[in-house]
Amino acid sequence: MHITLNAPASLHVTIKLPSSKSISNRALIMRKLGGGKTEIHNLSDCDDTLVMVKVLQETSEITDIHAAGTAMRFLTAYFAATDNKTLLTGTDRMRHRPIKILVDALLTLGADIRYQGEVGFPPISIRGHRLEGGNVTVPSNVSSQYISALMMIAPYMTNGLTIRLSGNTVSSTYIRLTSELMKIFGAKVNDDNREIQVLPGQYNLASFDVENDWSASSYWYEILALSESSDDTIILPGLYRNSLQGDSKVAELFRPLGIETIYDNGGIQLHKTRAVVPSYSADLTEQPDLAQTIVVTCAMKGIPFNIKGLQSLRIKETDRLKALRIELDKLGIRIKEHHGDSLSWDGSIKDVQDEIIIDTYDDHRMAMAFAPCAFCHKGLGIRNPQVVSKSYPNYWKDLRQAGFKIKDI
What residues are annotated to the active site?
289
Helices 291-301 and 320-330 sit at what angle, rounded to 10 degrees? Answer: 20
The Cα 226–Cα 239 span in angstroms is 22
The Cα 409–Cα 219 span in angstroms is 23
123 upstream amide cis, omega within 30 of 0:
yes
The Cα 219–Cα 372 span in angstroms is 8
Inter-residue contact 110 to 137 (CB < 8 Å): no
Task: Give residue 171's region: left, alpha or beta (phi > 0; psi -120 to 50).
Answer: left
The Cα 284–Cα 292 span in angstroms is 11
Closest by CA position to 359, among listed 392, 330, 389, 332: 330
Inter-residue contact 216 to 391 (CB < 8 Å): yes
Burial of 57: CB neighbours in 10 Å, binned 0-12, 13-18, 19+: exposed
Inter-residue contact 144 to 171 (CB < 8 Å): yes
The Cα 224–Cα 388 span in angstroms is 20
